[in-house]
Amino acid sequence: MKSSLKNKWVLITGASSGFGAAAATAFGAHGAKLLFGARRVDRLEKVATHAKKSGAAAAHFHELDVSQTGSVEAFMAWAKAKLKSRTLYVLINNAGGAHGLDSVATGKDADWETTFQTNVLGLLRVTRAALPLMPPHAGASIINIGSIAGRTAYAGASAYCAAKAGELQITRVLRHELLGTGIRVGTIDPGLAETEFSTVRFKGDRQKAAEVYVGMNPLTATDIAETIVWVASRPPHVNIDEILVKPTDQAEIGKVFRRPKK
């Protein structure tokens, strides 16, 4: 059966690793045409090769720093030139992450600022710049990547929990603002997923990052990419508002089943 995403234009932020890179492959397998960005352009080249192998009808990439308005505007001008007069069908606001695990008492301005610049302001900037490329169109989608952290609090994650709660509210606001346009808006909120997320959070400390997932089966980037594709490929009258996706081994933040070491 022909996929509803075949030859549709899909734009992904934060595509150099994790969910974003896996989403490029997953949409590629449906024959979509891809535009994607992140700061590590060398990684994007590999993602493009992989997406084309999986079946993408096109896979174009460009440097993007969602924390800089100028970078977002330059990226969208590039995307507009690639689209010519065609419309963007799916926007995936995925770029983001957590920085540090300090309490409020010991938190660093730089970590808080980066967390908000990417997860909140980046989402707003990218969406503002992308909307002119998404005229009213039945079946188009904006899919934001939130987190279980936007719904539940845990120590050391004040800025990240606040930022992802902000992402959830921006998603809800957009549903009001885009009502009647045919554009659907939803959030996918994962629990523990093993990507580069924890390595970034712990500033490159891979051992500390690996400990987060020790003895349990975390989600994979592909699990979330497949969820994004599923949301984008529902019939145009169906809006998947909010999905919380957790590993079976995670009942809640901080309540994780871990198998003892053999």
How many chain residues touch ligand 8X3 (CB under 6 A)? Answer: 8
Q: Where in the sequence numbering do the catalytic residues fall?
A: 160
Residues from 146 through 205 that contact ligand 8X3 (CB under 6 A):
147-149, 157, 191-192, 197
Cβ proximity to ligand NDP, 3 vs 74, nearer residue: 74
**Hunting for tokens 């100028």 — which residue is that?**
70
Kindly tell me which of 58 and 101 has the beta carbon lying closer to ligand 8X3.
Answer: 101
First to last CA, the chain: 46
Q: Identity (one letter) of the amino acid at 210?
A: A
- Separation between Cα atoms, residue 239 and residue 202, nearest integer Å: 36
Residue number with CB closer to ligand NDP (139 or 190) = 190
Q: Choosing among ligand NDP, ligand 8X3, none, which partner's interface includes residue 253 (Cβ < 5 to 8 Å by kind)? A: ligand 8X3
- Pairing between β-strand 255-256 and β-strand 250-252 as defined by DSSP bridges: antiparallel
CB of 40 to ligand NDP, least distance (A): 3
Q: Which of these, 58, 59, 57, 55, lies nearest to 47 by C-alpha position?
A: 59
**Chain position carrying tokens 């995670």:** 250
For the bound state, the minimum distance from the C-beta of residue 149 to ligand 8X3, rounded and expressed in Å, comes to 4
Answer whether 33's CB lies under 8 Å from 11's CB: no
Query: For residues 101 and 96, what is the distance between their CA atoms, to the nearest angstrom?
Result: 15
To ligand 8X3, the closest distance from the beta carbon of 127 in angstroms equals 20
Instruction: Enumerate binding residues for ligand NDP (CB under 6 A).
Output: 13-20, 38-40, 43, 64-67, 94-97, 118-119, 145, 147, 190, 192-193, 195-197, 200, 221
In the complex, minimum distance from the CB of residue 224 to ligand NDP, in angstroms, rounded to a whole number? 7
| Nearer residue to ligand NDP within complex by CB, 43 or 80 | 43
Stretch that binds ligand 8X3, among 50-58, 103-111, 127-135, 143-151 (CB under 6 A): 143-151
> What is the CB neighbour count within 10 angstroms for residue 64?
30
User: Token pair for residue 47?
Assistant: 């993602």
Distance CA 10, CA 234 (A): 15
Q: In the complex, which residues of this chain contact ligand 8X3 (CB under 6 A)?
A: 147-149, 157, 191-192, 197, 253
